[in-house]
Amino acid sequence: MIIRQTSAPSLLATYSSTNTGGSSNGNNSRSTRPFSGVRQNSTIDINLNGNFVISDRGNERSRMEIFTRNEDFIRKISIRYIDIVAGLAITQQGNIVPVDSVSAVTVFSISESDDLIKWFDCSHYMIEPSDIDIFNNQYFLYHFKEHCLVVFDQDWNIFIDVLNRKV
pLDDT in tens, 49-67: 999 999 988 777 889 999 9
d(CA 64, CA 55): 4
pTM for the model: 0.73
d(CA 149, CA 51): 28
**In the chain, what are the domain boundaries?**
12-133
Checking if the pLDDT of 84 tops 60, the result is yes
Q: Which of 30-34, 54-58, 59-63, 129-133 has the lowest mean pLDDT?
A: 30-34
Checking if the pLDDT of 6 tops 50, the result is no
CATH code of the domain made up of 12-133: 2.120.10.30
Furthest-apart CA pair in the chain: how many Å? 52
Q: Name residue 153's beta-bridge partners.
A: 138
